[in-house]
Amino acid sequence: MTHTASVAAVSQHGGKYLTFVLAGEEYGMQILSVHEILGLLPVTRIPRTPAHIRGVINLRGKVIPVLDLRLRFGMPSVVDTETSCIIVVQVQGTQMGLVVDQVSEVTTIAGADIEPPPSFGADVPTDFILGIGKSAGRVRLLLDIDRVLSSDEVVEAAAAAADAG
């Protein structure tokens, strides 16, 4: 592995990340796209939509959609727990909620500690992964949240990534 080369290639993604847990694994998303974090609210289901769309919530008078990130990534669904919460993100001007198992912390990950996304072969796109953050002895998959929410291939890709990781 050519360590130095990879550091140079991804260092522009260094910065503050909100890290969270999904199915026992740690992920991170850039803090700039995070609007706020909510405890679980009553969600109104929307009929005839894919399973990963949990429904809509009332965010202080605004109706915003909520996605189940586990289902979005093709992970098994679980019953919500005390620590489950909704991360409200702003993607291309639209607010959207993401249900995650647990929010961990806000941490700074230096560009030097980020490795480029691993390759799973041509069939598995990895463009929604900014890189792999390695700091304080922990490994976190850093997500490009814009792409996570817009790309349809994410589900398969993430499943493959989970298997490989």
CB of 65 or CB of 117, closer to another protein: 65
Under the binding rule (CB under 8 A), the answer on residue 88 touching another protein is no
Minimum distance of another protein from residue 44's CB (angstroms): 4
Q: 133: helix, coil or strand?
A: strand
CB of 44 or CB of 108, closer to another protein: 44
CB of 55 or CB of 116, closer to another protein: 55
Candidate residues 45, 76, 122, 123; the one interacting with another protein per rule CB under 8 A: 45
Binders of another protein: how many residues, by CB under 8 A? 25
Spatial distance between the Cα atoms of 80 and 82, rounded to a whole number of angstroms: 7
Polymer length of the chain: 165
Using an 8 Å Cβ cutoff, are 135 and 23 in contact? no
One-letter identity of residue 90: Q
Quote the tokens at residue 61. 């008078």
Candidate residues 49, 77, 81, 83; the one interacting with another protein per rule CB under 8 A: 49
Spatial distance between the Cα atoms of 99 and 52, rounded to a whole number of angstroms: 10
Using an 8 Å Cβ cutoff, are 147 and 161 in contact? no
Q: Which 52-71 positions form the footprint of another protein (CB under 8 A)?
A: 53, 55-58, 60-65, 67
The residues of the shown chain that bind another protein, judged by CB under 8 A, are 42, 44-49, 53, 55-58, 60-65, 67, 91, 93-96, 149
